[in-house]
Amino acid sequence: MRIAFTKMHGLGNDFVVLDGRAEVLPAFDSATAAAIADRHTGIGCDQLIVLEPSQTADFRMRIFNSDGGEVEACGNAARAVGLLHGQPARIETSGGLIATSPADSSVSVDMGVPRFGWDEIPLAYAMDTHEMPLAWEELVRPIAVNVGNPHAVFFVPDSDAIDLARLGPVVEMDPIFPDRINVNVATVEDRSRIRLRVWERGAGLTLACGTGACATAVSAIRRGLADSPVTVHLPGGSLVVDWGEDDRIVMTGPATESFRGSFDPANYGISQ
């Protein structure tokens, strides 16, 4: 038996989506996810997305980074899955319940309420997450926020000038972040526009990161640097983030289906 997949992307952040809502899929571990994500010997993607039935929502979404690690949330994947589902949906994730609402050319995602407590990020020990007294070379005093997964946001004069390929993994793997961290370098262009680059834990430099855009917009508003809604410009395109009076984050942006196919599970060591 072959396993069907849908290849999708959100602003260039790409996914292999496996739909196990109506038909049971084989069990996936980190090695299998990494093998499917490999761009040379697998299908190739930033994240493997597995959809499953849920007892608390319309369905469950599991997210595996390209290194095989399972993570809590992915905003771009949520938009892609929202497009694939084709109608409003409540989706269970390891990072909490989210809601998607597709429109003609975009998908809006209610990402929930941001968390700022040091133990909610989490950090290794207590400190002020609004302006952490830490630095990694020119990356200084980040804001830490959890928007379903953990982010450190650095505001810099020019995000393009940061050697994020070198500094990103240094920050990601620092012991202060026991679950590792997504690293965002952002430049506020005006009160409604932010330029952003993201080093994604377990995936590396990415063309777009939906949760990173949410974390950065919330951090800029929290520091008094921007007003809601904020347009966040990433290398792959732009997202609009609205942090409302109800404290919930709504992210809106495009998603695209690239192609569909199938694969032999035996090629990836999957037993059925």
Residue 209 bears catalytic tag: yes
Same domain, 184 and 236: yes
Q: Is residue 46 part of a domain?
A: yes
pLDDT at 22 over 70: yes
Q: State the pairing for strand pair 193-200/230-234.
A: parallel
Same domain, 175 and 220: yes
Residue 152 Rama label (left phi>0; alpha psi -120 to 50; beta): beta
State how far the Cα of 209 lies from the Cα of 196, in Å rounded to an integer.
9
pLDDT at 123 over 70: yes
List alpha helices for the chain, DSSP H.
30-37, 75-85, 164-172, 210-222
pLDDT at 163 over 70: yes
- Confidence band of 269 (pLDDT split at 50, 70, 90): confident
pLDDT tens string 179-204: 999 999 999 999 999 999 999 999 99
DSSP state, residue 118: T
pLDDT at 271 over 80: no
Q: What is the pLDDT of residue 89?
A: 97
Q: Is residue 14 part of a domain?
A: yes
pLDDT at 156 over 80: yes
Percent of the chain with pLDDT over 90: 92
153's CB contacts (< 8 A; 6+ apart) are 142, 143, 144, 145, 184, 186, 215, 216, 219, 220
CB neighbour burial string for 129-148, b if at least 16 within 10 angstroms, e if fewer: beebebeeeebeebbbbbbb
| CATH number, position 145 | 3.10.310.10
Q: What is the pLDDT of residue 133?
A: 97
Q: Is residue 120 part of a domain?
A: no
Which residue range is the domain that position 167 belongs to? 135-247
pLDDT tens string 207-245: 999 999 999 999 999 999 999 999 999 999 999 999 998
Same domain, 181 and 262: no
pLDDT tens string 53-106: 999 999 999 999 999 999 999 999 999 999 999 999 999 999 999 999 998 889
- Confidence band of 135 (pLDDT split at 50, 70, 90): very high
State how far the Cα of 56 lies from the Cα of 46, in Å rounded to an integer.
27
Same domain, 33 and 68: yes
Q: What is the pLDDT of residue 105?
A: 80
Q: Is residue 178 part of a domain?
A: yes
- The residue written with tokens 């809590």 in the block is 72
pTM, full prediction: 0.92
Task: Give the total number of structural domains in the chain.
Answer: 2
Cβ-based neighbour number of residue 177 at 10 Å = 20
**Of residues 132, 203, 207, 209, which has the active-site annotation?**
209
Q: Is residue 128 part of a domain?
A: no
Same domain, 232 and 260: no
Same domain, 238 and 140: yes
**Of residues 11, 50, 74, 255, which has the active-site annotation?**
74
State how far the Cα of 229 lies from the Cα of 251, in Å rounded to an integer.
9
Q: Give the N- to C-terminal CA distance of the chain in Å, as an integer.
A: 9
Q: What is the pLDDT of residue 272?
A: 61
Mean pLDDT, all residues of the chain: 95
Q: Is residue 109 part of a domain?
A: no
Residue 111 Rama label (left phi>0; alpha psi -120 to 50; beta): alpha
